[in-house]
């Protein structure tokens, strides 16, 4: 769902987001930051597979085949670009596309020496970076009319790492304005649609990436998460998204380097591919004061594990949240799989009382820190929910923030003690199934009114408060064929263990293999 990492990633010199406010509209977007142009030609030489077949191979398998020269990076990138050209007009997931630049990078990747210079883990794999993340020389709009012409002069740390691992940047993926709200739409590029039902939302704020994965337009995707943005779009699109522990994927540049509500992380079509991406994204960096001092190589270990006797808590509603019956039914239908894996599943939930108040205050404080200048200078170009959230933050007192931090500490301790009894907590990702795209935010669930645009996101943002790792993995479908994911939450810094349980569940169900019809 909603995320605020665009602010954290936009503090840089000499051309910052702040300075970009002063020059809005001053320059046209360069050709290097534009959309797709002429139809793409087939790659030269070699036998070309049909785009859907090549585009739906797992990233791990694609990377292996490229390294072994069984397929070229140019063939892989060309196939994905053709898939984008064919499918993206229906879903509007990729908002900026650089086909010529991507093909040049692919040709260069194919010339990489194979002796004495081992290619990176993502060598030759295409990716469109979330449009909240700085990309040098490539338009980065944050989904805002204020920054519709903003072209950064540097990459964010996560982009540095992806490039160093051999990933090929093909463009940017759509996001809601400033990543605010779990519905991907903005006034710059428009709405991103759910590929399983084009009349429904794909969620947000990492909606463009999740849809691109579901449609075979990218094999891997980055995302970010404050209130659920690495969990809800995968949940709505039948793919996988991991919210890592804060500091697992370091953030830079950042004006709020100590912030632990927002994190960056991976999305993919399989848990194994998410782990592969984590092996690149994770790892310490001195530029991030909260980065975790553990090697990212741990994510390359085998994911298989015996779960016999492992105690798992199932909570349909965290004790009090309204959840649509179709979502509960899909998730409860998955409980037998966990039991078949050997898990001891008990219905239980930790005490999250005070969580809504704590999150609302801390979120508002972050918005006040992030958007006061935009509010003062360009209020007429900002959507109403961002204005409201920022103004809520400006009303806060120091005591308000202190009380919220205290509540957060109490909640963490409750959940920590709860997870001494259970190794994992499983629950619905979202409280609703994908809803009509015209609905900007959910107003009621089961007759219970939602008073703000983030009230309906509690099943995700409660987990955000704890800082615990959580993953969304496909578990079933609601009526009408709409995807439903299940959320697996692990212990403190237990990111790898969360991936292991998700991997076992994924292998046992195969639900994530069902792709949307428009992709073929």
Residues with catalytic roles = 130, 205, 229
Q: DSSP letter string over 383-431? A: -HHHHHHHHHHHT--HHHHHHHHHHHHHHHHHHHHHHHH-SEEEEES-S
Total Cβ atoms within 10 A of residue 67: 18
Question: Between 355-378 and 458-466, two packed helices, what is the crossing angle to 10 degrees?
Answer: 100
Q: How far apart are CA 367 and CA 4, in angstroms?
A: 8
Structure tokens at 307: 């779960």
Omega within 30 of 0 (cis) for the link into 253? yes
| DSSP 8-class letter at 44 | S
Q: How far apart are CA 199 and CA 217, in angstroms?
A: 20
Sign of CA dihedral 364, 369, 371, 373: positive
* Residues in Cβ contact with 167 at an 8 Å cutoff, skipping those fewer than 6 apart: 120, 122, 125, 126, 127, 220, 280
Whether 311 and 344 have beta carbons less than 8 Å apart is answered as yes
CA 250 from centroid of its chain's CA atoms: 15
Q: How far apart are CA 381 and CA 508, in angstroms?
A: 48
Which among 512, 433, 435 is positioned nearest to 58, based on CA atoms?
A: 512
Buried-exposed string 265-292: b where 16+ CB fall within 10 A, e elsewhere: bbbbbbbbbbbbbbbbbbbbeeebeebb
Q: How far apart are CA 317 and CA 351, in angstroms?
A: 11
Provide the 3-class DSSP secondary structure of residue 241. Answer: strand
Which helix (H) or strand (E) is 393 found in, with range? helix 384-394
Q: How far apart are CA 221 and CA 274, in angstroms?
A: 9
From start to end of 32-119, where are the E strands?
94-97
Total Cβ atoms within 10 A of residue 127: 26
Pairing of β 482-489 and β 470-478? antiparallel
Pairing of β 424-428 and β 311-314? parallel
Which among 171, 39, 148 is positioned nearest to 94, based on CA atoms?
A: 171
């Amino acid at each position: 769902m909603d995320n605020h990492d665009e602010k954290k990633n936009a503090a840089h010199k000499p051309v910052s987001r702040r300075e970009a406010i002063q020059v809005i509209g001053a320059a046209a977007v360069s050709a290097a930051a534009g959309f797709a142009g002429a139809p793409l030609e087939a790659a030269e030489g070699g036998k070309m597979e049909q785009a859907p077949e090549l585009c739906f191979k797992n990233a791990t398998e694609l990377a292996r085949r490229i390294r072994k020269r069984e397929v070229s990076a140019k063939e892989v990138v060309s196939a994905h670009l053709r898939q984008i050209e064919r499918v993206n007009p229906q879903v509007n997931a990729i908002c900026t596309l650089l086909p010529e630049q991507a093909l040049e990078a692919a040709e260069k990747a194919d010339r990489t020496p194979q002796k004495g210079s081992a290619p990176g883990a993502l060598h030759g794999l295409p990716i469109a970076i979330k449009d909240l993340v700085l990309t040098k020389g490539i338009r980065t709009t944050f989904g805002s009319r204020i920054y519709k012409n903003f072209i950064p002069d540097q990459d964010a740390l996560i982009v540095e790492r992806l490039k160093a691992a051999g990933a090929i940047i093909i463009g940017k993926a759509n996001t809601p304005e400033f990543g605010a709200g779990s519905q991907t739409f903005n006034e710059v590029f428009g709405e991103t649609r759910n590929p399983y039902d084009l009349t429904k939302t794909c969620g947000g704020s990492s909606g463009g990436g999740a849809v691109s994965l579901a449609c075979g337009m990218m094999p891997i995707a980055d995302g970010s998460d404050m209130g659920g943005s690495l969990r809800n779009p995968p949940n709505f699109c039948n793919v996988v998204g991991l919210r890592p522990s804060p500091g697992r994927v370091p953030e830079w540049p950042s004006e709020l380097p100590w912030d632990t509500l927002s994190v960056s992380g991976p999305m993919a079509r399989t848990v194994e591919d998410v782990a592969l991406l984590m092996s690149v994204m994770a790892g310490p960096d001195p530029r991030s004061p909260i980065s975790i001092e553990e090697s990212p190589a741990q994510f390359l270990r085998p994911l298989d594990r015996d779960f016999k006797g492992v105690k798992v808590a199932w909570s349909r509603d965290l004790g009090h949240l309204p959840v649509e019956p179709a979502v509960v039914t899909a998730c409860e239908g998955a409980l037998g799989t966990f039991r078949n894996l050997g898990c001891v599943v008990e219905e239980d939930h930790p005490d999250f009382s005070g969580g809504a108040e704590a999150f609302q205050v801390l979120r508002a404080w972050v918005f006040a820190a992030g958007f006061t200048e935009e509010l003062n200078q360009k209020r007429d170009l900002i959507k109403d929910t961002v204005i409201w959230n920022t103004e809520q933050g400006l009303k806060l007192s120091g005591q308000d923030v202190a009380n919220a931090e205290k509540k957060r500490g109490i909640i963490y301790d409750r959940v920590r003690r709860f997870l001494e009894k259970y190794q994992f907590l499983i629950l619905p990702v979202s409280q609703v199934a994908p809803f009509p795209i015209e609905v900007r935010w959910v107003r009621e669930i089961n007759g219970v009114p939602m008073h703000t645009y983030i009230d309906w996101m509690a099943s995700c943002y409660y987990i955000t408060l704890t800082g615990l790792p959580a993953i969304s993995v496909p578990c079933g479908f609601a009526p009408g064929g709409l995807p439903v994911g299940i959320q697996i939450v692990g212990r403190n810094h237990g990111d790898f263990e969360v991936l292991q349980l998700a991997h076992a569940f994924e292998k046992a169900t195969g639900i994530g293999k069902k792709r949307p019809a428009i992709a073929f």
